[in-house]
């Protein structure tokens, strides 16, 4: 798996943002839509900050961008502080010119019997646009990508999943206690992620070093869904020195 190590997450994030901007502009030049696969959490925040800067200071337009977020807690109201809708608005969408109707985030308000049809439609919408041009990923300490927790199948699609206990513990600060963290989420599947034309998994800090080592060097197994990325020929791991520090 190609791994690129940067001195720190600031430099890495600026580089990733530039790659996204290049795709947006290239598509603009051809009158086409750029389809972005987006992640939430602490990891991509500086990428979004740089994209906002490129919009404000260098005229980068998001008019031709359609975005699909990886996941959302379930159940979750979009206007809740912890929703991924709130997160994306705060860090990116409120500050750029992306048309609101071009934003797609799994719907945490659906009744459970409507989730399956929603997930199928999410997949179909991505396909109808020609697929995701560039997919951003973080990695959870369980080895999840999106919310594909241990046990997820390599060909899994968008679906309702049960969150791992460690994932809920890691989210407990945002929710003021683990008991307040939803037990489920809607996530794109490993198979959905794999169809993207380019995949960038980012990880920063020492606390990700162990799981990054397993993802990059470990045996491919559903125990660590991120190991499936070793099977892709268009994935890159973008790391800071601390996250890369356990790699041999
Ligand atoms: C978020 C997502 C998750 C996170 C992962 C790492 O949309 O899909 O897989 O990328 O949990 O989270 P942070 O970046 O907060 O360490």
Q: Are 104 and 122 in contact (CB under 8 A)?
A: yes
Ligand 1 pocket: which of 43, 85, 132, 215 to mutate (most atoms <8 Å of CB)?
43
Catalytic residue among 149, 198, 206, 210: 149
- Tell me the C-alpha distance between 136 and 5, whole Å: 16
Residue 169 pLDDT: 98
Question: Given 3.40.50.300, 3.30.70.270, 3.40.50.1360, 3.30.200.20, which CATH number is that of 3-240?
Answer: 3.40.50.1360
Q: Which atom of ligand 1 is nearest to the CA of 69?
A: 7
Residue 147 pLDDT: 98
Residue 210 pLDDT: 98
Q: Separation of 31 CA from ligand 1 center, angstroms?
A: 32
* Active site annotation includes 101: no
Domains of the chain: which residue ranges? Answer: 3-240
Q: Residues 69, 74, 80, 83: is their CA dihedral positive or negative?
A: negative
Mean pLDDT by 10 residues, the chain (248 residues): 98 99 98 99 99 98 99 98 98 99 99 98 98 99 98 98 98 98 98 98 98 98 98 98 98
Enumerate residues lining ligand 1, CB below 6 A. Answer: 39-43, 70-71, 138-140, 144-147
With 0.80 as the threshold, say if the pTM is over it. Answer: yes
Stretch (H or E) spanning 67: strand 65-69
Which long-range contacts (C-beta less than 8 Å, at least 24 apart) are formed by 15-20?
A: 15/238, 16/47, 16/136, 16/200, 16/202, 16/238, 17/47, 17/48, 17/50, 17/51, 17/54, 18/50, 19/134, 19/200, 20/47, 20/51, 20/134, 20/136
Q: Separation of 140 CA from ligand 1 center, angstroms?
A: 6
Q: Phi and psi at residue 70, in whole multiples of 5°?
A: -65, -40
| ipTM confidence score | 0.99
How does pLDDT run across 194-242, given as a tens digit for each residue?
Answer: 999 999 999 999 999 999 999 999 999 999 999 999 999 999 999 999 9
Q: Separation of 82 CA from ligand 1 center, angstroms?
A: 13
Q: Report helix, strand or coil for 161.
A: strand
Q: For ligand 1, atom 3, name the residue with the nearest CA.
A: 146
């Amino acid at each position: 798996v190609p791994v690129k190590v940067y001195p720190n997450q600031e430099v890495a994030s600026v580089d990733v943002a530039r790659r996204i901007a290049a795709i947006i502009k290239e598509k603009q030049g051809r009158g086409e839509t750029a389809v972005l696969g987006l992640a939430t959490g602490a990891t991509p925040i500086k990428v979004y900050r740089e994209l906002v800067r490129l919009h404000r200071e260098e005229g980068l337009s998001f008019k031709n961008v359609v975005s699909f977020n990886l996941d959302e807690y379930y159940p979750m109201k979009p206007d809740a502080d912890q929703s991924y809708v709130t997160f994306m608005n705060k860090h990116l969408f409120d500050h750029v010119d992306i048309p609101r109707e071009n934003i797609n985030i799994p719907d945490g308000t659906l009744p459970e019997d409507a989730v399956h049809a929603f997930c199928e439609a999410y997949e179909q919408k991505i396909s109808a646009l020609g697929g995701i041009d560039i997919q951003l990923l973080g990695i959870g300490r369980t080895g999840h990508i999106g919310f594909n927790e241990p046990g997820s199948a390599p060909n899994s699609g968008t679906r309702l999943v049960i969150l791992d206990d460690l994932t809920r513990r890691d989210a407990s600060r945002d929710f003021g206690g683990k008991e307040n963290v939803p037990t489920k989420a809607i996530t794109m599947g490993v198979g959905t992620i794999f169809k993207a034309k380019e995949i960038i998994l980012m990880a920063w800090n020492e606390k990700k070093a162990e799981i990054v080592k397993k993802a990059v060097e470990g045996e491919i197994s559903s125990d660590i869904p991120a190991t499936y990325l070793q099977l892709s020929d268009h994935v890159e791991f973008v790391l800071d020195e601390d996250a890369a520090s356990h790699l041999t």
